[in-house]
Amino acid sequence: MRYLFKHILMRDAVYGMQLRTKLRDFHRRAAQAIESLYADNLVPYLADLTYHYDQAGEAALTVHYARRAGEHAFAQSAYHEAQSFFRRALSRIRPENPGEQAPLLVSIGKSYMYLGDHAAAAEHLEQGLSLARTAGDRQTTVTALNELSLAAFRQSDYERSQELAQEALATAREIDERIVEAAALDNLGRVAWTQGDHAVATRHYEASLAIQRQIGNLRGVATSLNNLGEAARTQGSYAVAADYHRESLAIRCEIGHRWGIATSLINLGHTAFSQQDYEQAERHYQEALTIYQEIGAQQGIASILSGLGVVRKRQGDPAAAAHYLSKSLLIFRETGDRSGAAGTLDNLGHMLIETGDTHAAWEHLREALLAAIGIGVLPLAMDALVGLANLQDLAGRPTRALEWIGLVLQHPATYDQTKQDADKLLARLRKKVPPEQVEAALAYGRGLELEAVVAKAQEGAD
């Protein structure tokens, strides 16, 4: 049938409408054909289904498949791709449906967190939390609370992280959400571990692991094993730590969790480093670095660069060490990771002592000490204090060095590696200071308040 039009623009408009209708129908049929042909396994075609239903104007089905595609990409550590699908799904939901928007905002926030943009993660998680509460969606609410706890932890806001984790834990138990209950216990463990309370951290990790095993959540099992490995390592139980990390790595390889694989590798590197196996440590770090770079995990990259810097320092290559550590510090500062930045400053300070630049070493270690105290990372503060004590001795003040060593060795937050470094310095001091003076200074140091030492460190190197 042919039509006559009085105006060419009207003709073009009608033909255009017919074409768009035919195209929408074509995309709808294409999507339905995929669903029919590959009904047993649609996963490889989730992106195609999202595209075709979106072009067909089928908003509900677009949201359904875009969400599934995003979840699949997230599970494969493809966080940029996951965000793209989650955002497409979000754009097809009407504003009056907060219950549908909330989970997608939370998913976008989680993606940002793995990419190291914690400010953006917190922003989207807060939005998701608000909408979930408006919609009365307690499951998404408790998930958002727990993820916000982790975001706060990675921004070194440990007090807020603990508060959010406690709220998430209580809510999860009320609604019997076991996965979030276990994850909240892990978050509480991380805060305790960072603050040097190893017993509490281990108790939380073990409770989380028991839940994860009970419900069969392999990803969660691997996370709890990883956390237990780090708790063991920082207490000097290196063989136990390595066993935990190897078991965690095996699970993560089995389920294809690439971000987790890299995390297990870096922690195996830390464990090898603690055992002075620097070649093995570097191999693990390099493997992890490749994965982190592929998925764009900035914090992970910074952590490995810091680790490589310390390895280079121990191998007697200060120039390479400074290069790695400086790059690490830049990334940590760009991503707002105050704990990571403080740790790298600490590593730089210890390295500068060995190169003889005592003034720069003092400035770096003092900044690390103040930052660690400011964010409540007491184990890091103890490590910086050992470096500052070393500088006091080099400046001809062995008594003050002994006093600070006395504080470090008796402090409950001091990690095993820091104690070893403190013991080495103490052995050196015993060779130059009479025994009675050594014991008197150590005893005085054991009674010192950390705040008094920090105040003295702020006065300067002289």
Confidence of residue 72 (pLDDT cuts 50, 70, 90): very high
Mean pLDDT of the chain: 92
The predicted model gives 68-72 an average pLDDT of 96
Q: How confident is the model at residue 195 (pLDDT cuts 50, 70, 90)?
A: confident
Q: What pLDDT, on the 0 to 100 scale, is given for residue 5?
A: 45
Above 60 in pLDDT, residue 314? Answer: yes
pLDDT beyond 80 at 1: no
Confidence at residue 12, expressed as pLDDT on a 0 to 100 scale: 52
423 vs 24, higher pLDDT: 423
254-300 pLDDT per residue, tens: 999 999 999 999 999 999 999 999 999 999 999 999 999 999 999 89
pLDDT at 13 over 70: no
418-438 average pLDDT score = 95
Q: Please tell me the least confidently modeled range out of 85-94, 107-116, 289-298, 448-457.
A: 448-457
User: Mean of the pLDDT values across residues 156-170?
Assistant: 96
For 176, other C-beta atoms within 10 Å of its C-beta total 7
pLDDT at site 7: 52
Does pLDDT of 368 surpass 60? yes
Q: What percent of the chain has pLDDT over 90?
A: 81
pLDDT band at 4 (very low <50, low <70, confident <90, very high): very low
Give residue 25's pLDDT: 86
What mean pLDDT comes out for the span 345-374?
94
pLDDT given at position 136:
95
- Amino acid 454: pLDDT: 87
| pLDDT value for 188 | 98
Least confident of 79-88, 216-225, 381-390, 408-417: 408-417
Domain ranges of the chain: 364-462
Average pLDDT over residues 121-137: 96
Each residue's pLDDT tens digit, 27-59: 889 999 999 999 999 999 999 999 999 999 999
> Average of pLDDT values for 329-356?
93
- Does the pTM exceed 0.85? no
pLDDT at 15 exceeding the cut of 60: no
pLDDT at 460: 61
